[in-house]
Amino acid sequence: MSEKRKQVLNVAEQLFYDYGFHGVGLKQIVKEANVATMTLYNHFSSKNTLVEETIKHREERYWAYICSTSEAYSNEPFVRIAQLHGAFLKEVSPQGCMFLRAIEVYQDTDRNIVDIAQNHKSKVLQYFEELAIRNNIKDYKNFAYEFLLIIEGATSMTQITDPTQATEHAVTMTKALQSHFQT
């Protein structure tokens, strides 16, 4: 990925997150990314294409957080994921979920954007199922679904409380969930 493209994606991601997808124009992104308008259009044919790529970029960042060390904690990988998700919330996403926002905003206007965001959520659930299988959780589908609800709940709670408190509760609930499914 070229440095200019990366620069535009980083700026667009932050602006879309802070001000909403419709609250930011391409001129503001060009200005804050310090690139020429043609540079933006050389990489992204339209604002919706930029939104699509920005959401994909956000997904890459999320996976980098979650997969960075969760596998190394094989005795409690779900607790570690809850902690890593909390770190992502605190450092990157303290105002809620960009993927759910994209689904809400583009539900009736851009199926590609909605599909990208929904596919992210599906991949997360699938990852949790695969990890539950590797950790010998017999009812892995229900476990993964309930764990995803814990993670999504922590994300939502950051808008009411702070990420640290939401993460502490998510970790406590994850331990209880594991205990329930291991009996």
State how far the Cα of 156 lies from the Cα of 28, in Å rounded to an integer: 28
Q: What is the pTM of this model?
A: 0.92
Joined tokens for residue 156: 């939502």
Q: What is the pLDDT of residue 73?
A: 59
Q: What is the pLDDT of residue 79?
A: 94
Q: Which CATH superfamily is domain 1-44 in?
A: Homeodomain-like (1.10.10.60)
Q: What is the pLDDT of residue 76?
A: 87
Nearest by Cα to 56 from 108, 110, 112, 107: 112
Q: What is the pLDDT of residue 101?
A: 96
CATH code for the domain defined by 47-182: 1.10.357.10
pLDDT tens, the chain, 183 aa long: 799 999 999 999 999 999 999 999 999 999 999 999 999 999 999 999 999 999 999 999 999 989 866 565 567 899 999 999 999 999 999 989 999 999 999 999 999 999 999 999 999 999 999 999 988 999 999 999 999 999 999 999 998 999 999 999 999 999 999 999 986
State how far the Cα of 132 lies from the Cα of 135, in Å rounded to an integer: 5
- Side-chain-side CA neighbours of 12 within 13 Å: the count stands at 29
Annotated domain spans of the chain:
1-44, 47-182
Whether the CB-CB separation of 144 and 129 falls below 8 Å is answered with yes
Q: What is the pLDDT of residue 137?
A: 93
